[in-house]
Structure 1
Amino acid sequence: MSGFVARVLVGSVLLAGVATGFGQAGIAPAPTPPARMYLNVEVTSAHGGPVTGLQQQDFSLFNNKAPQTISTFTEIDGSVAPTEVVLLIDVMNSQEITMSRERPELDKFLLSRDGKMAYPTTIGVLTEKGIHIQPAPSTDGKGLKEALDRYLPSVRANHLTPGFHGGEERVELSLRALSGVVAQMRQRPGRKLLLWVSPGWPVFSGPAMYLSDKQQQELYHQIASVSEMLRQARVTLYHIDPLGSSESVFQSQSYQQYLKPATKPSQATPGELALQVLATQSGGLVLGASGDIAGLIEKAVDDTKSFYEISFDPKAAEGMDEYHRLEVKVAKPGVVARTRWGYYGQP
């Protein structure tokens, strides 16, 4: 592996900032999180619809397989709870033909419901020059479409180096962009959904990958930092794949092989920083294999119609970046509970 790839994989999230259409969005170090942790839990039936009316006694929470006491429990109606959606269009990691498919579908979504968004929504566009993003969310779909007209280039102008080295640059810029957007979202209250419309960025992982012990430690810390950044900002990440599974960037190797979280530096792999993996582990969804991009976006937004918020008080970790696997079970037949996969505790 080249030295540049190693620097990208273990340092990109720690860079100073990310270019936006409104100046620089700095990536400030995350403050120490409060002792109490909150989880958004989606509960669905076998048919995929939300399951409502459950009580706290129906839920069990496990922390590293050990029962964890639930401190608070609330069933939330998404239509009245503070919720924000960021719809990010990833031009940098897409081909022109992909963008030509996306554009009418994006307009279709923004102009649905007579142009009235279900939740305050922000439009962002990622190119190799940085992120152009609105300064504040809006529920005016027509206004959001006009913003997209301004931000989205009519002709793709990606001047990154082609091939392997161009892929290195896209990884770096993608992870910087993710950090910058989440830092901006963190400033606002409530639950946030980050819908990343993209085939995904390259992932340099596999048996031929070699990292020194120091690089493994730095990579593990970066994985932990990204995970905690999303959790503390209350951001759930969704991957909207405009290509579908047969054409995606993971066509030769499935992202599922990277889903198991590393619990120590020697287990860390760059694949854990893939968009699909980050989305799944945040409690979001990987949506694709469909030409109905507007429908996929709508499905992600519908995730907030009804959900449960539970909290717990974790014990202090024994070491830095100590991974804790979380699991929520519901004592009702035929239902599935989905939440973020875990957290990285600190002493």
Structure 2
Amino acid sequence: MVLDELNTHFEDSSFAVRSVKQYLDARPALLTQPTTLMLVSDNKFRVLQTFTRDRDLLLKALHDQAVHYAWKLEGDKSIGYGTLERLDQSLNALEQIAQATARIQGRKNLVWVGQGFPSIDPSELKTKDQDLINGTIQHITNLLLDTRVALYAVDPTTSAAGMVEITDPTQLEFAQAAGDSFVTNADPFGSQLDFDRLGPVTGGRVIRGMNDIDKQIANFVDLGTKFYTIGYSPSDSNSAPRQYRNIRVVCLRPGLTVTARNGYYATPPASQSSKEALIYDLNAAALSSIPLTALKVTIDAAKSEKASAGTYVVHVDVSTLTWHPTNEGTSTAKVAVLVVGLSSKDKIISHTLQSMSAMTKGAADLSTSRKSADFLITSRLPRGADRLRFVVREMDTGRMGTEEISLREARQN
């Protein structure tokens, strides 16, 4: 569950917190599934309580956290830097959630309590900004799909316009005729960058105009326990960049309806290794307040006598990497390794970035987690830095892993 106090007015955020408390109070002391509580506000995205089935721990985390005033929202009256900054912060939070839960097997349900990022008409932006934002949303959408995160969102703003739920074939046909995102190959973000469209894209939904927020949360959690995993091979092999390919799942049993992801971007995997995607991901990970675990990363100081001070061995679990065969019978994986020096107040003091490749010796077993690909990187020990954060990003998929070491211990050694 995420409390969105970045895009939600103060009084509505207060109502949201009370509603989440009502939801938790009505649950048993031992929850049916592990739950984590997160917060996104003006200047931070952080975990209030890590995954737990202990309801009381979640209630305590909720009680200990004061509601934040949404300064960026209140001071923003038009499309400008503030609006784009809130959009970027919201997408950044979604990216961190996806990267942090990627190695958790199966479907993950993200319940977002708040208004969500601001709607923006792309035509009001400069062409360069349009391309950047469209590419970022496409990148985040692909990442949510890849990591099997379904977004369910409920807006605590009681005056918000209601959103029609599609519950039968007649309503579905009407929606298709109206020309919404169910239309074949229609890009859901083509005409409007809208948070509401992110839910259906991931297989979830967004609800507005309701005041029983606790019951809506309970409904979302219940929906997340009933799902099937199905797939298909498209008959059309066209994979033009940014083309949105529609998916429609029809249940043949009368009286039943299916909620499914309504499509995906048929973008070649190379888009993940673009300069823009690389910069966005590394910037997000550099200041992430939660560990990213899509790649399993551990760090050791280099033991060789020839190694200079500040040289480290970055170990990446081979089973979490994507390997490509070579003509010589070996396999290779490409990553970018970023090392940032952070102050005690989370300010970046230094950074080192290097692209690297790992290669196996012959037909190695790449499925076991007992083996690692090792990368050597040297980063100076910057003055005033409290710790080093290591970020490893796979070039092909955009999956990332992070690990930190204390510089106080390093200096002592």
What TM-score bracket applies, with the shorter chain setting the length?
0.5 to 0.7
1:198 and 2:198 are equivalent in the alignment:
no
Question: Which piece of structure 1 moves more, 155-164 or 279-288?
Answer: 155-164
Match of 1:145? Answer: 59
Match of 2:103? Answer: 187
The higher-RCO structure (CA 8 Å, 6+ apart) is: 1
Match of 1:286 among 203, 206, 209: 206
Task: Indicate conservation of the 8 Å contact 1:124/1:133, yes or no.
Answer: yes
Aligned mates of 2:72, 2:126 — CA distance in 1: 29
1:306 and 2:212 are equivalent in the alignment:
no
Task: Indicate conservation of the 8 Å contact 1:197/1:240, yes or no.
Answer: yes
Aligned mates of 2:184, 2:251 — CA distance in 1: 26
Shift of 1:285: 1.4
Shift of 1:210: 5.2
Match of 1:109 among 23, 38, 47: 23
Match of 2:217 among 289, 293, 297: 297
Task: Indicate conservation of the 8 Å contact 2:49/2:58, yes or no.
Answer: no
Task: Indicate conservation of the 8 Å contact 2:10/2:67, yes or no.
Answer: no
Match of 1:98? Answer: 12
Task: Indicate conservation of the 8 Å contact 1:115/1:140, yes or no.
Answer: yes
Match of 1:343? Answer: 264
Match of 2:195? Answer: 275
Match of 1:331? Answer: 252
Task: Indicate conservation of the 8 Å contact 1:220/1:264, yes or no.
Answer: no
For each residue in 1:188-247, what CA deviation from the matched residue of structure 2 results, as whole angstroms up to 9, or x when unmatched?
2221011111123221217x62553x5555444333222211100100001111124x43
Aligned mates of 2:77, 2:29 — CA distance in 1: 40
Match of 1:259 among 163, 172, 181: 181
For each residue in 1:37-83, what CA deviation from the matched residue of structure 2 results, as whole angstroms up to 9, or x when unmatched?
xxxxxxxxxxxxxxxxxxxxxxxxxxxxxxxxxxxxxxxxxxxxxxx
**Rg comparison, structure with higher value:** 2
1:239 and 2:239 are equivalent in the alignment:
no
1:209 and 2:124 are equivalent in the alignment:
yes
SS of the aligned residue for 2:136 comes to helix
Match of 1:56? Answer: none
RMSD: 3.0
What amino acid does structure 2 have at the position aligned with 1:331? L
Task: Indicate conservation of the 8 Å contact 1:88/1:124, yes or no.
Answer: yes
SS of the aligned residue for 1:334 comes to coil
What amino acid does structure 2 have at the position aligned with 1:132? R
Aligned mates of 1:309, 1:209 — CA distance in 2: 39
Task: Indicate conservation of the 8 Å contact 2:5/2:70, yes or no.
Answer: no
TM-score (norm 2): 0.54
SS of the aligned residue for 2:124 comes to coil
Residues 76-95 of structure 1: matches in 2 within 5 Å? 87-95=1-9
What amino acid does structure 1 have at the position aligned with 2:210? S
% identical equivalent positions: 25
Task: Indicate conservation of the 8 Å contact 1:283/1:338, yes or no.
Answer: yes
Aligned mates of 1:146, 1:180 — CA distance in 2: 24
Aligned mates of 2:8, 2:151 — CA distance in 1: 19
TM-score (norm 1): 0.63
Task: Indicate conservation of the 8 Å contact 1:237/1:284, yes or no.
Answer: yes
Task: Note the residue ranges of structure 2 that are not aligned, 5 or more in a row.
Answer: 164-177, 269-413
Aligned mates of 2:147, 2:183 — CA distance in 1: 20
